[in-house]
Amino acid sequence: MFALVEDGKITQMPKGNKGITIGDNQYPASIYTLWTEAERNAIGIYTVEIDTTNKKDEEWYINTNITYAFGSGKVTGTYGTATARAIADYDAVWTQEEIDEGLGPDGVSANDPKKDNKGNQIVVYGLKTIKKEMIDNQCAGLLAPSDWMVVKATETGGTMDSGWKTWRASVRTKCNSMQTQIDNASDVDALAALFTYTEQEDGSVTRPLGEFPVKA
């Protein structure tokens, strides 16, 4: 990405895929690939440098838009302070921006509750609910291929293989343990840490949340 600086201010943000007119002069797209940075700077075009210091993982945070500024002979794009995503469920409400855009029903005010077509409060799931649902789905996916064994034993009065029975129980136990860890996370950083893999001294890569047991 590039920026055109005129009289100390950024006036355009060309992508570098087509020519540009600056004053009375026209320049081809090749200036972005064939010219040196110094040559482009001489006509007011600078390569944008993005400062990602404040940028955070968007799985856990909402990043701001990038703000561009010219100073000290370069153009820099910076992020503002990221906002942690909600970890708890919360009731959806109308925002003033949505109302101004005509998205709300007649007579609605900012912070009024959002209702579904049956008049029920709309609830937005927080990260804890989302992650616990993910764990539930993983657990169900692991158990599904052997569900037929449970059905067969139940319908025929037979006995399920003890190895499979023990493993299925361990999967459910681990599922509950993982969800308890998620519930106990005090904030978004603590929740993210549960899912963060780190390399151990023995070369293995693990995460605090752990893994589901593997059927031997």
Q: Give the residue among 102, 13, 24 at the shortest CA–CA distance from 66.
A: 13
Give backbone dihedrals phi and psi of 205, rounded to 5 degrees, phi first.
-120, 120
Q: Give the residue among 90, 92, 84, 89 at the shortest CA–CA distance from 58.
A: 84
Given the structure tokens 């992508």, which residue do they identify?
15
CA distance 213 to 188: 26
* pLDDT at 74 (0 to 100): 96
* pLDDT at 84 (0 to 100): 98
- Are 5 and 11 in contact, with CB atoms under 8 Å apart? yes
Q: Tell how many helices (H) and how many strands (E) occur in the chain.
A: 7, 13
Give backbone dihedrals phi and psi of 77, rounded to 5 degrees, phi first.
-105, 130
Given the structure tokens 């077509």, which residue do they identify?
117
* pLDDT at 19 (0 to 100): 96
Given the structure tokens 């940028």, which residue do they identify?
55
Within its chain, how far is the Cα of 46 from the centroid? 30
| pLDDT beneath 70: ranges in the chain | none
- Are 84 and 188 in contact, with CB atoms under 8 Å apart? yes
Within its chain, how far is the Cα of 212 from the centroid? 24
Size (the chain), residues:
216
CA distance 1 to 66: 13
CA angle, 122 as apex, 118 and 125 as ends, to 5°?
145
CA distance 208 to 123: 29
Per-residue model confidence as pLDDT tens digits over 146-199: 999 999 999 999 999 999 999 999 999 999 999 999 999 999 999 999 999 999
The answer to whether the predicted template modeling score (pTM) of the entire model surpasses 0.95 is no
Task: Enumerate the domain spans of the chain.
Answer: 2-84, 90-124, 126-206
CA distance 73 to 41: 9
CA distance 55 to 15: 22
* pLDDT at 216 (0 to 100): 85
